[in-house]
Chains A and B, each alone.
Chain A
Amino acid sequence: MIHFVRILAVTLLAATPLRAEIDIQPVETDASFSAWLVEERSIPFVAIEVVFPGGAVLDTEDRLGATSLMTELLSEGAGDLDSQAFAAAVEATAGSVRFDAGRDSVSLRIRALTENRDEVLELARMALTDPRFDETALHRVRAQTIASLERDARNPNTIASQTFNELAFAGHPYARPTEGTPETVSALSRDDILTAHRTALTRDRVLVGAAGDISAEDLGQLLDDLLGDLPEATVDLPDHAAFTAPGGITVVEHPGPQSVVAFGHAGIRRDDPDFMAAFVMNEIFGGGRFGTRLMRELRETRGLTYGIGTSVATAQHGDSFQGRLSTDNSRVGEVVALLRSEWEWLAEGGITQADLERVQTYLTGAYPLRFDGNASIAGILASMQFQGFDIDYVNVRNDLVRALTLEDIHRVAGRMIDPEALHFVIVGQPQGLDDLGF
């Protein structure tokens, strides 16, 4: 039989955090592209992630969804290869060339075996700089996109996100749907796709992370070949969005047993000296895993939901502090009241020294676990550059977490957390909202 005391003893001994032993090399190419590389030669393949900042925010108001549809079409034929021939060529290498458009960027993820790396990279280059955008492919992918948007339009989670964004970032591109609407996408022509291609993928807005079986020199040459033919950027990125939603409740009627509740208020900018304190505060409060205050209060103690998460949603051009859960329609009133009182708990300095120390141990211990393979590492390297971190951030990040004091946490909670400012978007058939005094 194991004794409780013994478990406790091992716990204390094990509290020294692991160091992230990640050696990141900066790479500057002849054509002046830069990249971060982790050389890892034990498995014969490389993962490369290329991020083009910009993304769907570059769409004009009447061409919403153009960047997203253009990005889908990049894998639909290039050079002298049509859609089928291009896909077959990539499959024959067993590599992968994947494009993805988001609100703030377009990304390209490449995975290539060492034995045929050049072939995979040539296919990626063709897709990036010489896509065909055939009318047949445009017709087919546009129909698929519209079908997917129509599904989204009946999905309570998508409705909640879109409604929240419209209220939170009124007048800014962040208020608009990243993939457009069925109406805007139906109207997109091949010329619109060509314009989006010219706008979204440019040589002066590009970031690269790579990990695996490749030298800095080979990576440099490869990137010059891959990116060298891209044009310069011509369209400016948007200004920073103000958070515009006032405190209150917005209900969107939707059939189903549950309501989706999305809630939040203004957040914090990445360059704010209190950003790290806000991040750590949220990890204690609602950071989307077990052991947070909100999971304990709403799930463990009361069984109100399968899960609740909040996040410091700081993005390139706007920020919020927001969260989400689903709950039975009959319990929405109770949930909203409870969330407001939890917000008060947080604003009034509810977090204790013990809470802080526990999360510091967790965060510093868990950090190295992220670097668990070439594909994850390439993604992290690109994302760190996208978020504006220094190359030695991985080595100092745990020190920054450890340096935070309870005073820092309470200060940022006092600045940022405001129960009165919370806006709730509720998608479903909620009950019990009348007694809340909104």
Chain B
Amino acid sequence: MAHRALLPMLAFCVTLLTLAASPLQAAEPGVHGSEPQGFTLENGLQVVVIEDRRAPVATQMLWYKVGAADESPGQSGIAHYLEHLMFKATDNMAQGEFSAVVEANGGRDNAFTSWDYTGYFQRVAADRLELMMQMEADRMGNLRVDLSDWLPERSVILEERSQVLESRPERVFAEQVRATLFQNHPYGIPIIGWRHEMEQLDERAATDFYKAHYAPNNAILIVAGDVSAADVRDMAARHYGQIPANPDVRTAARPLEPPHFAERRLVMRDGRVAQPFLNRVYMAPVRRAGDQAEAAAYQMLAALLGGSAQTSVLERKLTHERGVALSAWAGYSGNARDHGTFSLGVTPTNETTLEDAEAALDEVLAEFIETGVDSDQFERVQMQIRAAAIYELDDAAARARSIGADLSIGLTLEDSLGWLDALLAVTPDEVIAAARALDRRRSVTGWLMGDEG
């Protein structure tokens, strides 16, 4: 069920194309309009408009630069719980009216929460866009939380935790690995929250979080589709422009991660696990405003190590040549405000132990650093990045998502639009340097196994 869903941040296998952000060059004028346009309203609301005139459809996304990593101690899950409650009532709209109006206009709406941001979106016929803005602006300042809403909704998020997390041992395992990796930063706390803390969340906690963080000067509006920047500017000024900035709302610094000095290992056993696997996670740099080169090297490293089931280094060596793995993967998550992660993983064959699979993984990584990047493979990855600039024009809503996520973690529109260029500028030497920086002595390695064996 996708409704009011969590955004899974730590995917196991991050392929290159899904992280590709934006076109390399402006599309032909008149076909897709021009490059995305950005501007800021007087009250601090940042706005980006992505024109795509092929169909009379528009997507509005409103991103708040606040997420689960901004929660107070003991209140884990409050950012996500508030996201659910945002669909209830306001001083001007009755319980459930928001989604009912979207639906009555043939639209779809939903929302998502991450560690760094919370987003709300609607997809409608372009001539209904203004109504969506009117309603989204309304719930930015006028949320009303009633007992008949917040009490059953707390049961809903607990059921959500049971369904999407506790019923899946591999998700529980990922939660454990992450909690082990981050020793001080709240990135180690699950977005949905720890169950015992979720059970105590209430109307007051949600309202306090809302008042402390939801304001135009802490938000980004992205509109994509059959619209012009000028029209969006007028509409946004009419609706969002009426809401005063709140000077008390700002992006607060979080407790950062200290240097790590120990390799940490964990073993989780669960009778529901049919196929054991291992996951290794390292701290990694993030994309930084004006400086994405380092992050781009890690992204290229992930593509070369794990981007293809046949030809990427880990799959080729471990699955095809040595025959010790059923699958192997690599992933880089540098789209975060404070800390990034790089992960490697292997599902061994039935004849291979986790210990041997891990040893093979380390050997293959060392061989890769030793022999360097295969130039044919490097060219194929670059070709796919260039093609991504064309394919992504087919999906304006996906461009809205990737630009919104980039701006929400503090990147500029220029950074977002320059990401594919940054990837193409990476040299094989920089990839190897990134691989060398993955230091097992400061990493976390988790084994997930069944009860037996």
Q: Please report A residues at the B interface, Cβ cutoff 8 Å.
A: 1-4, 6-7, 10-11, 14-15, 17-18, 21, 40, 42-45, 76, 83-84, 86-88, 91-95, 111, 113, 140, 143-144, 147, 150-151, 153-154, 156, 255-258, 288-291, 296, 299-309, 326-328, 358, 361-369, 371-375
B453 sits at the interface (CB 8 A): no
Task: Point out the residue from A93, A328, A368 that lies within 8 Å of B55, measured CB to CB.
Answer: A368
A270–B414 Cα gap in the complex (Å)?
Answer: 51
**In the bound complex, what is the Cα–Cα distance between A15 and B379 (angstroms)?**
51
- Partner pick for B106 among A143, A305, A369, CB 8 A cutoff: A369
Question: A366 is contacted by which of B31, B107, B273 (Cβ under 8 Å)?
Answer: B107
For residue B204, CB closer than 8 A to chain A, the reply is no
Contacting residues, chain A, for B153 (C-beta < 8 A): 303
Tell whether, in the assembled complex, residue B383 and residue A92 are in contact, meaning their CB atoms are under 8 Å apart.
yes
CA distance A308 to B350 in the complex (A): 37
Q: Which of B318-337 contact A (CB under 8 A)?
A: 319-320, 323, 326-327
Residues of B within 8 A of A94 (CB): 383-384, 386-387
Chain A residues in 8 Å Cβ range of B323:
140
Please report B residues at the A interface, Cβ cutoff 8 Å.
1, 3, 28, 31-32, 54-57, 87, 91-93, 96, 99-101, 103-109, 123-125, 127-128, 130-131, 134-135, 137-138, 142, 151-156, 159-160, 162-164, 166-167, 271-275, 308-311, 316, 319-320, 323, 326-327, 347, 349-350, 376-377, 379-381, 383-384, 386-387, 390-391, 393-395, 397
The closest CB in chain B to the CB of A114 belongs to: B390
Please measure, in the bound complex, the distance between the C-alpha atom of A239 and the C-alpha atom of B380, giving whole angstroms: 47
Whole-angstrom CA separation of A258 from B195 in the bound complex:
14
Known: A14-B105, A42-B54. A87 touches B137 (CB 8 A): no
Closest beta carbon of chain B to A380's beta carbon, Å = 13
B152 pairs with A307, CB closer than 8 A: no
Judging by beta carbons under 8 Å apart, are B320 and A362 in contact? Answer: no
Given A154-B272, A258-B159, A372-B55, answer yes or no on A11-B104 (Cβ-Cβ < 8 Å).
yes
Q: In this complex, which of B105, B166, B394 has the most chain A Cβ atoms within 10 angstroms of its Cβ?
A: B394
Q: How distant is the Cα of A154 from the Cα of B275 in the complex, in angstroms?
A: 10
Residues of A within 8 A of B55 (CB): 21, 368, 371-372
Within 8 Å CB of B386, what residues of A? 94
A34 CB to nearest chain B CB (Å) = 25
Bound-state CA distance A93–B273 (Å) is 38
Within the assembled complex, what's the spacing in Å between the Cα atoms of A114 and B274? 44
B154 adjacent to A291 (CB under 8 Å): no
- Docked-complex contact A304 and B155, CB < 8 angstroms: yes
Closest 4 interchain pairs by CB?
A: A365-B106, A303-B155, A307-B1, A94-B387
Residue pair A84, B105 in contact (C-beta under 8 Å) = no
Kindly list chain B residues whose C-beta atoms are within 8 Å of the C-beta of A255: 271-272
Given A289-B3, A326-B162, A372-B395, the answer on whether A301 and B390 have CB atoms closer than 8 Å is no
